[in-house]
Amino acid sequence: MEIVITGSAREAAIIAADAFERLLWGADRAVIGLATGSSPLPTYHELIERHGNGRVSFARTRMFLLDEYVGLDPEHPQLLRSFIEREFIDQVDVPANALVVPQCAPADLATAAETYERRIANAGGIDLQLLGIGRNGHIGFNEPPSSLVSRTRLKTLTTATREDNARFFGNDPDMVPHHGITQGIGTILEARHVVLIATGEAKSEPIAKAVEGPVTAMMPASALQLHPHTTVIVDEAAGQQLRHADYYREIYRNKPVWQHF
C-alpha cells in the first residue's frame, strides 16, 4: 500500500488523475471503476480539464459504477448513475453504453448482483478502481461489518451513512434510501489498481484505522491492506492521525522515477 500525503485536495486530484492518464495511455481498452461522493469530484474535474486539453480520451474505455441506491425512482437525480453522468461521464468522450451500473429496479434485484459480477468479469476485470471512504470506514456501500471476501450484493445503509448522504437529499436523512447494491470487498480487491482518495479532517480517523489498524470486517477499508497495488491519497487533514506520516512522505519523496504507481 502506498500512502501519498499531499498539501491539498487539488494536489490529491492531480496525482489521482495522473494514474488515470498513465492507464489511458498504456491500455488499449481500459476498464475503470468509478466512485461517487464528494472526494473524487476534484479528480473528475481534473480529468475533464485534461480531456478538454486533448491530453486524455475515454473513447475506448468501459466504466463500472461502484455502487447504486435501491428504491429510488429511475429518473431520480440522486441515483448514483445520474450523479456520475452529470459530474463526469457527460463531460468527456465516454461512448454511449460504456457505463455499466447495477440494475436496481425491483424486477432486476434478484439477479442484479450476479449479473453485475458477470459483466465485470466479461470486461476482463477492472484496471483502476477509484474509491472514497466513509466516516465509518466503508468503501462503496460495504458498511461495517462487511465480509472481506464479499461479492456484489445488497447492503443496508447505516444511519451514519444516511445522515452523511442527506446533504444530497435536501438534508433529510429520511429521504436517503435504506439499501444499496455495492461491489463487494472481494470484488474491489480484484481491481488491478485501487486508488482511494480522502480529504478533510472527518476522514482522518477512518484513514488511520484503515491504513495502520488491524484488518477487520468492522473497518471495511482496512481490507485494502490485502491488496497488492493500492494507492491511498490524502490531504494533510485526512492524514493527520497517521502515526508513520513522516515515513510515508520520505518514501514518496524518494520514489524511483521508473516506479510510477
Of 27 and 48, CB closest to ligand GLP: 48
Please list every residue from 84 through 143 that binds ligand GLP, using CB under 6 A: 132-134, 140-141
Find the shortest distance in angstroms from Cβ 156 to ligand GLP. 13
| Cis amide linkage into residue 106, ω under 30° from 0 | no
User: Of 38, 57, 91, 225, which one interacts with ligand GLP (CB under 6 A)?
Assistant: 38
Of 63 and 133, CB closest to ligand GLP: 133
35 touches ligand GLP (CB under 6 A): yes
Of 134 and 239, CB closest to ligand GLP: 134
Of 132 and 186, CB closest to ligand GLP: 132
Q: Which of 164, 170, 118, 173 is nearest to 143 (CA)?
A: 164
68 touches ligand GLP (CB under 6 A): no
User: Of 5, 31, 39, 63, which one interacts with ligand GLP (CB under 6 A)?
Assistant: 39
Contact partners, residue 155, CB within 8 Å, separation at least 6: 141, 142, 143, 146, 179, 180, 181, 182
| 90 to 81, 87, 152: CA distances (angstroms) | 11, 7, 26
Listing DSSP states for 188-205 in one string gives HTTSSEEEEEE-SGGGHH
Angle between helices 9-26 and 41-52 (to 10 degrees): 50
For ligand GLP, the binding residues (CB under 6 A) are 35-39, 66-67, 132-134, 140-141, 161, 165
